[in-house]
Amino acid sequence: MASIKKPLHQLDAWQAAEALAHRDIQAIDLVRACLDRIEQRDPVVHAFVELNANAALALARQLDAGPVRGLLHGLPFGVKDLLDTADLPTAYGSPIYAGQQPLADAAAVALCREAGAVLLGKTVSTELANMHPGVTRNPHNLQHTPGGSSSGSAAAVADGMLPLALGTQTAGSLIRPAAFCGVVGFKPSHNRVSRAGVKSLSETLDTIGGFGRSVRDVALLGAVLTGDKRLVDPRNFDAQASSAPRIGLCATPDWSLADEDTQQAWAQAEKALTGYARPVALPAELQDLVAQQKAVQMFETARSLRHEHRHHAHQLSPSLLALLEDGMRISGETHAFNLKAVAHHRHVAADLFRDHDVLLAPSALGEAPAGLATTGDPLFCRGWTLLGLPCIHLPFARGRNGLPVGLQLVGRFADDHLLLTAAHWVHEQLTR
């Protein structure tokens, strides 16, 4: 315990994991520290919808008395209220499902528990993981949005309530709240993580990932979710063993919409990565990714939420109702055309990585917007989500209002381990 230099609730997940594995700290103390932080801060941040304090403390005591269970042994974590949990209600951020108690954990939750993680509670999701905001506030400024739809998970990690939390992304629901809250957000390649037990919006787009305070944190979580131990290979995080990646600076066709804060972060990154990065433009075939992502999401969400639309329309927000109605107006023939285009575009995107290991791109328009009526624009995330590529947000700057700003790295499909290796190296350069 003497080697720990900061409060337990402030430890990065990988630091806490090492200390727990070596028995330098106890799980019960880490869980208590996080619960104390939640008690102190959640009355104003509103990151949680349900807590599991007594069960978490009981499990922590069991873990301290037994062998190290797995990569996440003793680590507290939170679960977005879109993923089923067998011991806590799952309402999907909607009054329609208030108090619903699933019979089983979502696959991602079960995998985390099997690896020794301790569930502290369910975190706020926007309404059915769409754009209508929940009650969560940005911990850096309570008058600003935390982003969405994984708002509670990002805010809880940013505020020291949790070292790790699960979220999902269909448009920008991992990367954007990570950007607004100043944490690392990781979206694995599409279909690398089982979506069993998660409320479905779009089979083509939905992806489970999570939040931590460092690249090493989300690598731990990613290794558990994907079963790919390459994500936590020690050589990934060894400055002597790792070499500089080839970085493509991909501002995207929507760069003109980035505000001054993102532009300054971009300039800072260009300077820090001089000699390792060069500009790369998306080919003409990939210029309309945002519009296609919107069409695919609207069509599939409108049908995934058909029951709610038909039987509970009075309990849906006007913004979600409008999206569902727009989605139902898209024909099946148009959607079939879009799916063929998606398959083609994913093939074309592979060529982006012939001369680059990763692409650096904007995460958000800028700082978290003021006000709580919206969760911000996922513009800079939509295209990468449509392509199914792994993405990670790296926080390293501050905007005009002192709120976090950063950029995302994008990797080749299914090479999540290489993305994380590059992200660790890049983040070190950006935060020097």
**Residue type, position 21, single letter:** A
Is 194 labeled as catalytic in the residue annotation? Answer: no
DSSP-H helix ranges across 369-430: 379-387, 416-430
Among residues 149, 153, 202, 363, which one is catalytic?
Answer: 149
Among residues 173, 189, 214, 363, which one is catalytic?
Answer: 173
| Rg, C-alpha atoms of the chain | 20
Helices 107-114, 215-226: axis angle to 10 degrees equals 110
Q: Closest by alpha carbon to 334, among 310, 300, 301?
A: 300
Contacting residues for 340 by C-beta, under 8 A, at least 6 apart: none
Contacting residues for 314 by C-beta, under 8 A, at least 6 apart: none
Is 242 labeled as catalytic in the residue annotation? Answer: no
Is 199 labeled as catalytic in the residue annotation? Answer: no
DSSP-H helix ranges across 124-172: 151-158
Q: Which helix (H) or strand (E) holds 304?
A: helix 289-304
Residue 227: CA atoms inside 13 Å, Cβ hemisphere, count?
Answer: 8
**Residue type, position 185, single letter:** G
Three-state secondary-structure class, residue 244:
coil
**Residue type, position 210, single letter:** G
Residues serving a catalytic function are 80, 149, 173
